[in-house]
Structure 1
Amino acid sequence: MISLRRSIDLSIGSISSSKMRSVLTTLGIIIGVAAVIANVSLGASFNEFFNDEIGAVGSNFIVIYSQGVNVFFDKEIDLIRNTPGVEGVSPVNQQMARVTYLSTSRQIDIQGVIEDYGEVANLKMDAGSFLSDKDQFVAVLGSEVAYEKFDKKVSVKNPIEITFRREDGGVVTQKFIVKGIIQDPNTAFVQTGVEPEIRIFIPINTMNQMLGKDDYGGFFIKASSLDTVRETADEIDNRLARNLGVSTRELENDDTKPYVMFDQIDAIEQTDQVSTALTSLLTSVALISLIVGSIGIMNIMLVTVTERTREIGLMKSLGYTRKDVLTLFLIESTILSLLGGICGTALGIGVAFIANYFLDLPNVFPVNQILIGFIVSILVGLVAGIYPANKAAQMDPVEAFRHE
């Protein structure tokens, strides 16, 4: 019985003597492994990208919108603010209005908020500052509104006019001074309905005075941490439902509640589903390439067995056992798949890195999944070599010598 080291030396010698055949054999594995690694890495990068975009919308946020009028008032703000796990809350009113700057008028979404909204929504200022609770007739503009909506860019301290249509049909117009401009959070792929770049923010008390109302359309809430978002949201839901007369039995039925709510975990779960489905689809296609590569190894190894029939006969006549021949050919196929796995892993990481650069994605390379892909490539080569190796091991030495 030959030693393992001797078997490895013989296998390497055989591979080296037929370089072109060896390269063609490993090519299928290289392409398959590279495709798997690249797709897994891209999926993880997209997932991280989506999570970053959601984080740009707000920190540990919970959003509540009423499904009617006269649902939320000051007592609901106090109820939410006193809920364990709540770090900040801002009431929100929202309505389209005609906004005039110089001689240009546009229909723009106006949101009435309080000072806490800036922190809760994780807003970053491009110029000026956000609203304070002492402000009255000042406005903070989203970057798209300030820089793209009008014929000329709007700057801090510029006056704008906002015209609301009240529920009684009347029209009210008021001049506001621009206090700040919000930086674009660049959330092009994740839309949550709270995108600040397309809105104008004014003090909610001022907005309610103009509209002649005293209720709120909803709340934007910040939980103390991402880990407690769902728990905090559930507690807020229970307290609001009890306060608004929703029975415990109807609590789970969103259609019976006069409000809807979602949180950061909901948004993350939705994007996770999208990225997981995309990764699974791409990885499935890549695995097909890996299977095709394994078939390639099997075919080449079968050809190799045929070409080396006389050599196998000579080996057996010199005392090599069936197990020795089987081991020799299995090691040869394993080495080929190992080389293919190494090259394919390096190529896959390189392709993912380049794709992330051009797609402006974070570089995320899940080591566990990459390692699994690498191990699978070795197993694929081993499995693909079993049949050819077994065929070689079962050859009769006399018949092998007679082979032309």
Structure 2
Amino acid sequence: MLSLKHSFRMAVGSISSSKLRSALTTLGIVIGVAAVIANVSLGASFNQYFTEEIGSVGNNFIIIEGKVSNLFHDSEMEIIKNTPGIVGVSPLSQEVAEVTYLSTSRQITVQGVSEDYEQVGNIQMESGTFINDKDKYVAVIGHDVAYDKFDRKISNKNTIELSFIRPDGEVVTQKFKVKGIVASPETTFIQSGIEPDDRIFIPIETMNEIMDQDYYWGYFAAATSLESIDDVTDEIDKRLARDLGVPFRDLDNEDAKPYSLANQGEILEAVNQLSAVLGSLLTSVALISLIVGSIGIMNIMLVTVTERTGEIGIMKSLGFKNHEVLSLFMVESMVVGLFGGVLGIVLGVVGAYAADTAMGLPYVFPVDMILIGMLVSVIVGLLAGIYPANKAARMNPVDALRHE
């Protein structure tokens, strides 16, 4: 009786006797498994990267933006603030101003916000403090504004000059004292248009006074949790629609509403779907290599069966059953697949780490992919070996012994 252990030893011996041919045979499996492992790891890394990027915008954030001017006022902010599940809300206004520091001028986006924006916008201060609602002509500047935009570094208590253009064309210039510098969130993905690195924050009331307006272009709010954010967003939508005269029948028609809403959960879901589609596409392409690899194993096993026809005849004449000959060649085919899988896993792990490092992504490797990779490679070897092994098992021992 030919044991599995004996079959494995014979398979290893057969593979070792033709190292170059065996290496070329496993090449397709190595590339296929490596590609699948690397793609899955890269997909997980991209997913975590985008999740961290979106999280840097704010904690459980909800963005409410007006499609027309003079739409949102203090009354709408009170509606949002009093919605169950809201823990903070800041009105927003935004203008591009000419910023002058030590005779150097740059065009920079200036954001008018309230003190709640520090919490809802997940602002981390490198130095100084964030603005509060009692401040007037003070500014908090982003990391890039402080260190990269001008010829000389801007520090706390330095004075900068901001020039705004009102809707009527009048230019208003005002000096602001720097109260704090925002720490860089170390993110590069587009953050819903609210990147703190290259922005200047000033009190919303000061912004409206300079621009001679009493409305906001939107609000930035935070919900109690990511799990409840969709329900909170829907409730805000209903309350704003009622306040602004949007018919209930048009509540689900985005084009009929003069405002738009988006939240962190929706953005994360969209990113996850995109990552899943991209990962599936890349993995599908990688699976082609596995198919090619399985064809290679089948081809080389057919050659092996032909070369070892005499050996098969001797085995059968000594009493080996068909299923024993079948299992011998099946084990050999699976061992080839397993060797290729192990090498592919190593190559995939190293390749994914190198790619993540080169692109500045967090390295995420699903450990279960090691087991999946080995299982897939063994299954590929098994399927590829079925036909050659069956051919060997069905050989007539007399014909096999006569074969030269």
Task: Give the TM-score category using the shorter length.
Answer: over 0.9
Corresponding residue of 2:134: 134
Letter in 2 for 1:54: I
> Which stretch of the first structure deviates more once superposed, 160-169 or 320-329?
160-169
Corresponding residue of 2:278: 278
Corresponding residue of 2:118: 118
Corresponding residue of 1:354: 354
Corresponding residue of 2:371: 371
Corresponding residue of 2:296: 296
State the alpha-carbon separation in 2 of the partners of residues 210 and 354 from structure 1: 51
Q: Is 1:27 paired with 2:32? A: no
1:3-40 per-residue CA deviation (whole Å, 9 max, x = no partner) reads 33333333333333333333332232122111110111
Deviation at residue 47 of structure 1 after TM alignment: 0.9
On the 8 A contact 2:53/2:191 being kept in 1, the answer is no
Corresponding residue of 2:65: 65
Corresponding residue of 2:159: 159
Give me the CA root mean square deviation: 1.7
Letter in 1 for 2:251: L
Letter in 2 for 1:160: I
Corresponding residue of 1:211: 211
Structure 1 gaps, min length 5? none
1:34-55 per-residue CA deviation (whole Å, 9 max, x = no partner) reads 1110111111111111111111
State the alpha-carbon separation in 1 of the partners of residues 153 and 270 from structure 2: 36
Letter in 2 for 1:274: L
Deviation at residue 298 of structure 1 after TM alignment: 0.7
Corresponding residue of 2:37: 37
Letter in 1 for 2:114: I
When residues 371 and 238 of structure 1 are mapped into structure 2, their CA distance, relative to the original with a 3 A threshold, is farther
1:203-253 per-residue CA deviation (whole Å, 9 max, x = no partner) reads 011111222221111100111112222221111111111111111110111
1:349-401 per-residue CA deviation (whole Å, 9 max, x = no partner) reads 12212222222221211234443333111111000000100111111111111
On the 8 A contact 2:86/2:222 being kept in 1, the answer is yes
On the 8 A contact 1:120/1:220 being kept in 2, the answer is yes
Corresponding residue of 2:108: 108
Structure 2 gaps, min length 5? none
State the alpha-carbon separation in 1 of the partners of residues 291 and 243 from structure 2: 60
State the alpha-carbon separation in 1 of the partners of residues 103 and 356 from structure 2: 44
1:180-200 per-residue CA deviation (whole Å, 9 max, x = no partner) reads 111222332334111112211
TM-score, length of structure 1 as denominator length:
0.95
State the alpha-carbon separation in 2 of the partners of residues 172 and 362 from structure 1: 45
State the alpha-carbon separation in 2 of the partners of residues 250 and 89 from structure 1: 25
SS at match of 1:389: helix
SS at match of 1:208: helix
Letter in 2 for 1:234: D
Corresponding residue of 2:186: 186
State the alpha-carbon separation in 1 of the partners of residues 179 and 379 from structure 2: 64
SS at match of 1:176: strand
State the alpha-carbon separation in 2 of the partners of residues 167 and 335 from structure 1: 75
TM-score, length of structure 2 as denominator length:
0.95
Corresponding residue of 1:92: 92
On the 8 A contact 1:115/1:133 being kept in 2, the answer is yes
* Pairs aligned (count): 404
SS at match of 2:276: helix
Identical columns (%): 61
SS at match of 1:52: helix
> Which stretch of the first structure deviates more once superposed, 363-372 or 245-254?
363-372
Letter in 2 for 1:340: G
Deviation at residue 147 of structure 1 after TM alignment: 2.1
State the alpha-carbon separation in 2 of the partners of residues 101 and 350 from structure 1: 48
